[in-house]
Amino acid sequence: MDNRVDIDGLPFLKMHGAGNDFVVIDQRGRHAHVTAALARAVGDRHRGVGFDQLVTIDNDSGADARLIFWNADGSQAGACGNATRCVARLLMDETGKTRLTLRTERGLLIAVEAGDGLISVNMGQPQLNWAEVPLAQAADTLHLPMPGDPAAVGMGNPHCIFFVADAGAVDLAGRGPGLEHDPLFPARTNVEFASVTGPDRLRMRVWERGAGITLACGSGTCATAVAAARRGLTGRHVTVDVDGGTLAVDWREDGVWLTGPTATVFAGSLSPAIMALA
Residues whose CB is less than 8 angstroms from the CB of residue 229 and which lie 6 or more positions away in sequence, other chains included: 235, 236, 238, 251
- Hey, which residues does 207 pair with through a beta bridge? 191, 213
What's the rounded Cα separation, in Å, for the pair 227 and 231? 6
| CA-based torsion, 228, 233, 238, 244: positive or negative | negative
The DSSP bridge pattern shows strands 53-58 and 20-26 to be parallel
Number of H helices, E strands in the chain: 5, 17
In contact, 81 and 51? CB cutoff 8 Å: no
CA distance 113 to 97: 9
The reply to whether 222 belongs to the active site is: no
Q: What is the DSSP letter of 266?
A: E
Q: Which of 86, 160, 217, 222 is catalytic?
A: 217
In whole angstroms, what separates CA 222 from the centre of its chain?
10
- Calculate helix-pair angle for 218-230, 81-95, nearest 10 degrees: 120
Is 160 an active-site residue?
no
Instruction: Out of 80, 86, 160, 222, pick the active-site residue.
Output: 80
Identify which of 193, 190, 176, 188 has the alpha carbon closest to the alpha carbon of residue 243.
Answer: 193
3-class DSSP state for residue 97?
A: coil
| DSSP conformational letter for 127 | B
DSSP 163-195: E-S-GGG--HHHHHHHHHT-TT-TT--EEEEEE
Residues designated catalytic: 80, 217
